[in-house]
Amino acid sequence: MTVDEPPIALSDQRRQAMAVRLLAWYDRHRRHLPWRAAPGDRADPYRVWLSEIMLQQTTVVTVKPYFDGFLARWPSVADLAAAPLDTVLSAWAGLGYYARARNLHKCAQEVVARHGGAFPADEAALLALPGIGPYTAAAIAAIAFDQVASPVDGNIERVMARIHRVEKALPAAKPEIRTLAQTHTPPRRTGDYAQALMDLGATICTPRKPVCALCPWQADCAAYAHGAPMTWPRRTPKAAKPHRTGLAFLYYRGDGQVLFRRRPEQGLLGGMTEVPCSPWLPQSEAAEVDFDNLLKAAPIAANWATLDGQVQHVFTHFSLALTVLAAQTDARQVPVEDCFWHPLDDLESLALPTVMVKVLQHGMRQLR
């Protein structure tokens, strides 16, 4: 294997042969997933759409129980459209990227109102729906409707970057890689081809240690010929995450109810339920604000007990350390708008993001 050999320029004929070989590999190694139809059958667009939204930046293993739960609770897009948003958010709780859940609900309502309850087959019409971007529109068009479309996800990006040894770094290389993917897309069995390519990326052409010995495209791969396929795709380094701190106010009653608050519709954890908190300040700013000042953010003044330790949580673009303060009361009224009392033994009906589950667990361990 040479190190300086240029990438292989692939002819149309060669790309066609590659697609045939990949589909043959897929027919032998096809994974069964809950949203996939039996071989030869047309997939249910509702299932394909629901799975594709859940799978955005989320692993198959994580999605499976959520997919099963949603399908059991809302068997059709009309059922989902008729559900209150809060029940959708609570069912989505823990899956992350909560704008997906809000857009999922909005999309279901648009499919019912504007498309008679049936997803459009056209890629452009799909792209116009909430929460459906370029990848998802192409994926639904190809997988559910067998249209010729080229979805490009992280797996396909990686495969294309290796096959063609793309030197430009991601994310700047996305347009180039999208064009490359289109030149490989076959005119028939396009949905199977897209899923085959994603399976290839998930099981063979993996980020760390690709299993090139089992790859149906080994002979076509410029990165394999180079000898170090794992060094593609190139990526621009990511910025370090800043750190934020804040207080969480755990206010509990003798009858087992705790004070919660609904977060604003927009922004981080939008529309989700939280334990009331002070602002989450960058560490540099938090150092300038004294403890008593942060206490003013509490919805009810109280004789707070500071719990030991902190709750640690990492979001996409910052990490967070919350100090939990606890106080007991027999208050019945709702002190501030958007706040409400809710029994601790019925957390399932709340839309609690993971960081708030951590806060409650942190509190329960020390208050019993």
Among 58, 76, 87, 329, binds DNA (CB under 7 A): 58
Q: Does 274 bind DNA (CB under 7 A)?
A: no
Site for DNA in 94-113 (CB under 7 A): 94-99, 103
Q: Which residues carry out catalysis?
A: 52
For DNA, the closer CB: 199 or 220: 199
Of 7, 117, 134, 299, the one binding DNA (CB under 7 A) is: 134
- Residue 170's φ and ψ, nearest 5 degrees, are -75, 150
Q: Applying CB under 7 A, which part among 66-74, 128-136, 180-188, 275-283 lies near DNA?
A: 128-136
Least separation, in Å, of the C-beta of 271 and DNA?
10
Does 284 participate in binding DNA (rule CB under 7 A)?
no
Taking the C-alpha atoms of residue 357 and residue 3, their distance in angstroms, rounded to an integer, is 51
Could you tell me the smallest distance in angstroms from the CB atom of residue 197 to DNA?
Answer: 10
Under rule CB under 7 A, residue 179 binds DNA? no
The 3-class SS string of 155-217 reads HHHHHHHHHCCCCCCECCCHHHHHHHHHHHCCCCCHHHHHHHHHHHHHHCCCCCCCCHHHCCC
Contacting DNA (CB under 7 A), which of 47, 105, 158, 165? 158
DSSP secondary structure letter of residue 277: B
CB of 236 to DNA, least distance (A): 8
The verdict on 154 binding DNA (CB under 7 A) reads: yes
What's 280-336 look like in SS3? CEEHHHHCCCCHHHHHCCCCCCCCCEECCCCEEEECCCCEEEEEEEEEEECCCCCCC
The residue within the footprint of DNA, chosen from 91, 137, 222, 322 (CB under 7 A), is: 137
Give the tokens for residue 216.
Answer: 């149906």
* Burial class, 106, CB count within 10 angstroms (exposed 0-12 / middle 13-18 / buried 19+): middle
**Residue 300 near DNA by CB under 7 A:** no
Site string (320-349) toward DNA, x via CB under 7 A: ------------------------------
Maximal C-alpha separation, the chain: 77
Residue 321 bridge partners (DSSP): 245, 312
Quick check: 268 binds DNA (CB under 7 A)? yes
133 binds DNA (CB under 7 A): yes
The alpha carbon torsion through 173, 238, 51, 112 (nearest 10 deg) reads -80
What part of residues 201-230 is at the interface with DNA (CB under 7 A)?
201-202, 207-209
Q: Does 16 bind DNA (CB under 7 A)?
A: no
Where do runs of H (alpha helix) occur along 30-94? Answer: 45-54, 60-73, 77-82, 85-92
Q: Is 310 in the site for DNA (CB under 7 A)?
A: no
Q: Environment class of residue 56 by beta-carbon count within 10 Å: exposed (0-12), middle (13-18) or buried (19+)?
A: middle
Q: Does 361 bind DNA (CB under 7 A)?
A: no
- Give the β-pairing of 319-329 and 243-253: parallel
Is the CB of 24 or the CB of 172 nearer to DNA?
172
| Structure-token pair, residue 96 | 């992350």
**What element of type H or E holds 261?**
strand 257-262
Which residues face 333 on adjacent strands? Answer: none
Q: Among 2, 11, 13, 59, which residue sits at the site for DNA (rule: CB under 7 A)?
A: 59
Interaction between residue 34 and DNA (CB under 7 A): no
Among 153, 192, 220, 274, interactor with DNA by CB under 7 A: 153
Distance CA 206, CA 229 (A): 10
Q: Which one, 14 or 235, has the nearer CB to DNA?
A: 235
Q: Minimum distance from CB of 318 to DNA (Å)?
A: 8
Which span (56-64, 183-191, 325-333, 341-349) binds DNA, by CB under 7 A? 56-64
Q: Which amino acid is at 127?
A: L
Binding site for DNA (CB under 7 A): 33, 35-36, 51-52, 55-62, 94-99, 103, 130-137, 139, 153-155, 158, 172, 195, 198-199, 201-202, 207-209, 235, 237-239, 267-270, 313-317, 353-355
